[in-house]
Amino acid sequence: MRATDLSLADVSVPLTHARVGGESSNFKPKEREVELFMTKNPLKISVFLFFCALFVAFGLKGARVHANSSGPPIGRTSAPGELTCATVQCHIGSPINSGGGTLTVTGMPANYTLNQEYTITITLTLAGRQRFGFQATVIDDQGREAGTLTITDPARTQVFPGTIGGNLRRYINHTFVGTSGSGQASWSFRWKAPATDVGRIRIFATGNAANDNGSADGGDLIYTTNVSSQPPVAIPAVATVSAASFAQNVSLAQDMIVAGFGSGLSVNVAVGMTNPLPTQLDGTEIEVRDATSTTRKAGLFFVAPSQINYVIPAGTVNGVATISVKRSGTTVAQSNVTIESVSPGIFTANAGGTGVPAANALRIVGNNQTFEAIYTNNGGQITPIPIDLTNGDVYLILYCTGVKGAPQNGVTATIGGTPTPILGFAATSEFVGLDQVNVGPIPKSLTGRGPANVVLTVGGKPANTVTINIK
């Protein structure tokens, strides 16, 4: 096939420990070291809420609580149904969110994407402080755990389960190592959004900028904040079809040329001019996630605001695949398609999937072979050229896509209702995803037939019907 035979235009194509007047029976060696250190050194490494519950239980009796830095009790994030240490008088001092410090949460998206993972960072800043702590939880408006919290720095953070008001929640806290800082401390972790839309989601966080004086009853500064993420924004659909047949509601195949239709797919029109095809044009790219959840980028022929022609990546396995159009990294259109072994389509002269095929006739007379046009194109007006069958044998060279995955004997054809041999089929080298099918010779019994339908069947699936003219 020559470059002039089929151009791109043609294709359109968690824990803690405390001691109250005596030692705990479950005192462990490492915990003993921590307790001795804390007794001899009035260093306040209990930076946040630690053992507020024990203070409430024993405070009125005059027992002194030695706090542990392994993290606060659950339910101290100020989320609905919860308290803070300031609330239960564990860290008595200034009002919440006073003293000039700041507690921030970054990385929470304005709108979450289902199953998407995000890196969340909580930062507590207060000049002059050297010990900090925090606790956070992520819940929906019904008070239930929303999504999944994952530790990325086990030296500084840890996760524990808890139940508030009958609802399961998970909490991420600091560790002993995670309490240190110089005027500031940060903790990062991963949050995976839920698999279904649960409405608004909020991350509630409480932080303690400790005064490091070994006492829980003065000078600590408690901060709270929460950040919300709204439900996913409805992503417009992209209709993906064969770039040859444009048939609706049919499966597609790997290594097949397809066309995606939608709006806002790109800003400008751009054409892929390299081999291999580029995977990004004008900031637009397409990702294909197959049934094994493997994601591959598609090669692009061209992009335009309302149409993108591209190739289903080789290796895409059969089953349901998700097509995502991304612009500058943001998904602007998405839809699911079914991938099967074959999905035949014949390219046509009018780039619409009907009428005369974008094909050639090959005439063989003796040892001579001649390629002949089977249509003319006058300013977009396609006129079939009658094919003369009286001189030698004439073969029809069809250019298709979604064919090459067929078994060896899985391709058949009829012309004018008459079974016609298939000499062979294979992928071409001129265009990625383009297949060639050689049909013929055209039965001489069709001489004088005039318009004759060409029906190609691949793996039991019919391609779009095209028409030739026989003299």
Domain check: are 129 and 206 in the same one?
Answer: yes
Task: Please indicate, yes or no, whether residues 125 and 73 belong to a single structural domain of this protein.
Answer: yes
pLDDT for res 339: 97
- 135 is a domain residue: yes
Pair 256, 431: CB distance under 8 Å = no
Q: Is residue 335 assigned to a domain?
A: yes
Residue 111 shares a structural domain with residue 248: no
Q: How confident is the model at residue 151 (pLDDT cuts 50, 70, 90)?
A: very high
Q: What is the CATH number of the domain that holds 419?
A: 2.60.40
Please give the pLDDT value at position 90: 56
Does one domain contain both 377 and 325? no
| Angstrom distance (rounded) from CA 369 to CA 36 | 98
Domain boundary among 284, 307, 340: 340
Please indicate, yes or no, whether residues 432 and 334 belong to a single structural domain of this protein.
Answer: no
Is 104:97 a contact under the CB 8 Å cutoff? no
pLDDT band of residue 109 (cuts 50, 70, 90) is very high
Note the pLDDT of residue 328. 87
- The pLDDT, as a whole number, for residue 370 is 96
Domain of 325, CATH number, reads 2.60.40.10
Tally of helices (H runs) and strands (E runs) in the chain:
3, 32
d(CA 205, CA 135): 6
Alpha carbons 326 and 334: distance in angstroms, whole number: 9
Q: In the chain, how many domains are there?
A: 3
Whether 336 and 349 share a structural domain: no
Closest residue by Cα to residue 380 from 351, 423, 405? 351
Mean pLDDT of the chain: 84
pLDDT tens, 202-241? 999 999 998 876 655 567 899 999 999 999 888 899 999 9
pLDDT of 188 = 97
CA distance 80 to 147: 17
Last residue of a domain, one of 229, 256, 279: 229
Output the domain CATH number for residue 225.
2.60.40.2550
Which of 229, 246, 268 is the endpoint of a domain?
229
User: Is residue 109 a part of any domain in this protein?
Assistant: yes
Q: Range of 353's domain?
A: 345-470
Domain assignment present for residue 73? The answer is yes
Long-range Cβ contacts of 418-421 (<8 Å, 24+ apart): 418/443, 418/445, 418/446
